[in-house]
Amino acid sequence: MTMARLERDFHFTRKHFDYFRRLSQDYSGIVVADNKYEMFYSRLTKRLRQLSLNSFDDYVSYLESHREEEFTEFINALTTNLTSFFRESHHFQFLQNQVIPQLLQRNQRRISIWSAGCSVGEETYSIAITLAEAAQQHGFSWEVLATDIDTAVLDQARQGVYLLERVKNLPIAQKKRWFLKGKGKNEGYAKISRELRKNIRFEQLNLIQGFRFDKPFDVIFCRNVVIYFDRDTKVELVRRFASSLSSDGYLILGHSESLHGISDQFRSIGNTIYERI
Ligand X SMILES: C[S@@+](CC[C@H](N)C(=O)[O-])C[C@H]1O[C@@H](n2cnc3c(N)ncnc32)[C@H](O)[C@@H]1O
CA distances 15 to 18, 22, 40, 57, Å, are 5, 11, 13, 10
Q: Which of 47, 223, 234, 276 binds ligand X (CB under 6 A)?
A: 223
Instruction: Using CB under 6 A, pick the residue from 48, 85, 117, 178 that binds ligand X.
Output: 117
Q: Is 83 in the site for ligand X (CB under 6 A)?
A: yes
> Closest distance between ligand X and the C-beta of residue 117, in Å?
3
Q: How far is the CB of 237 from ligand X (least distance, A)?
A: 9
CA gap 264, 243 in Å, rounded: 13
Is residue 34 annotated as part of the catalytic site, yes or no? no
Size of the site for ligand X (CB under 6 A): 23
Determine if 144 is a binding residue for ligand X (CB under 6 A): no
Cα 52 to Cα 114: distance, rounded to the nearest angstrom: 39
Beta carbons within 10 angstroms of residue 215's beta carbon: 10
Find the catalytic residue in 21, 47, 148, 218.
148
The DSSP letter of residue 30 is B
Structural contact between residues 120 and 80, judged by C-beta atoms closer than 8 angstroms: no
272 binds ligand X (CB under 6 A): no
**CA distance linking residue 76 with residue 43, whole number of Å:** 10
**43, 87, 166, 240: residue in contact with ligand X (rule CB under 6 A):** 87
Any idea which residues carry the catalytic annotation? Answer: 43, 148
* Residues at the site binding ligand X, with contacts judged by CB under 6 A: 28-30, 79-83, 87, 117, 119, 123, 148-150, 153, 206-208, 223-225, 254
